[in-house]
Structure 1
Amino acid sequence: MNSNLKVSEHKIVVPENPVSKFLFNDTRSAIIWLVIRLYLGYTWLMAGWHKVTSPAWTGENAGAAVSGFINGALAKATEGKDVTGWYAAFLENVALPNAKLFSFLVAYGEVLVGLGLIVGLFTGIAAFFGSFMNVAFLFAGTLSSNPLLFILATWLVLAWKTAGWYGLDRWALPLLGTPWKRE
């Protein structure tokens, strides 16, 4: 048996890799996550703000932009490009008939993700919902910056314990029973 493994009451404990321990459990890495968090937060906030202030997203023509986006994705699916059949079915049968609702969800969701990441409040949850939206855009055949944003958001989800250290999570998470302790 590997000498690094510890056996304790019928379970094997594998020691954590020092790099991942530093990145995901050590508050000294929080400055790295702060930079990533602020970049992602700003990107989401600006994208959402553009939508929230646009009549095609949340104004008198709410749903128009989402309908156009969905129809573009459905055209790609018809051509057999970039959009899988099951996602096209979801877009056609769920999202398109509810385009106005999805319009508000996307616009305000982007703003909330951006604000959560910028102020560092519920960082892991905000990053999760940001990555969820990135995946939805990717499934719809939209490449642009979505792969990069998805990767960075996924890293923030993994780093939830330290990513909000320079933010409101430093105070909010211990109140919710997720304390940090000194070693």
Structure 2
Amino acid sequence: MSTGTDGGVNVFESNLAGIEVRGRAHSLSAWFVLALRLMMGYAFLYSGWTKILGGSFDAQGYLLNATVANGSPLVGLFTWMGQTGWFVEIVNVAVPWGELLIGLGLLVGAFTRLAAFFGALMMLLFYFGNWSVAHGVINGDFAYMLVFLAVAAFGAGRILGLDAVIENYEVDGEPLLEKYPALEYVLG
């Protein structure tokens, strides 16, 4: 994806599998991208924080029962996860702390693409765990997954976020992102 300006208007374009898309963003778009980043950051930070403070988060019941009750196509995977003790222990730490760290990263705009990737991954798992296609295959979990992906795609951490500072931090007289271009996949 490349961005630029066309007569003072923000332009973004991408070519994927031979299909090119091009769009012009309104000047208020940055504020909406920032709002999406902050909204998801707050929601995840709050969710993780309350699980950690509650001290009794246990994913096993969810893993064993949710998908069986709702007919998820991944019922076998979720059942295996719920029946595997070491995996449940990892999930019991990864979910609350993951939500907290994803939320914190999004709120301050640091390592935004990394945080958004893991947020989208969690929402994909919640999508299959909370399976409901009564009103179609698009539900809130799927929509939140797309919000995370949009936050990552638009480099939302550069909008009033620490990623803009981190990317320009100089190492040996060269901005960090120029010296280590692979960091673009976790920053932004």
Matched with 2:150 is 155
Larger radius of gyration: 1
- Offset of 1:142 from its aligned partner? 4.9
Q: After superposition, where does 1:32-47 map in structure 2 within 5 Å?
A: 32-47=32-47
Matched with 1:70 is 63
Evaluate the alpha carbon distance shift between residue 30 and residue 71 of structure 1 in structure 2; reply closer, same or farther with a 3 A threshold: same
1:173 aligns with 2:167: yes
Equivalent position to 2:121, from 121, 125, 132: 132
- Offset of 1:14 from its aligned partner? 8.7
Evaluate the alpha carbon distance shift between residue 14 and residue 102 of structure 1 in structure 2; reply closer, same or farther with a 3 A threshold: closer
Preserved CA contact (<8 Å) 1:43 1:114: yes
* SS of match in other structure, 2:48: helix
- Offset of 1:75 from its aligned partner? 2.2
1:17 aligns with 2:22: yes
- Offset of 1:133 from its aligned partner? 0.4
TM-score (norm 2): 0.68
Distance 1:155 1:75 in 2: 31
Matched with 2:31 is 31
Evaluate the alpha carbon distance shift between residue 150 and residue 130 of structure 1 in structure 2; reply closer, same or farther with a 3 A threshold: same
Structure number with greater CO (CA < 8 Å, separation at least 6) is 1
- Offset of 1:41 from its aligned partner? 0.4
* SS of match in other structure, 1:18: strand
Equivalent position to 1:93, from 66, 76, 80: 80
1:48 aligns with 2:37: no
Preserved CA contact (<8 Å) 2:123 2:144: yes
Preserved CA contact (<8 Å) 1:82 1:141: no
Equivalent position to 1:146, from 141, 150, 170: 141
Q: Deviations over 1:105-143 (max 9, x none)?
A: 001000000000000001111111111101101111256
Q: How many residue pairs get matched? A: 149
Q: Deviations over 1:150-180 (max 9, x none)?
A: 12111112112x543211011112333159x
Distance 1:89 1:82 in 2: 10
The answer for unaligned runs of 5 or more in structure 2 is: 1-17, 133-138, 170-175, 182-188
Matched with 1:5 is none
Q: Which structure carries more strand by proportion?
A: 2
> What is the percentage of aligned positions where both structures have the same residue?
26
TM-score (norm 1): 0.70
Matched with 1:60 is none
Preserved CA contact (<8 Å) 1:124 1:159: no
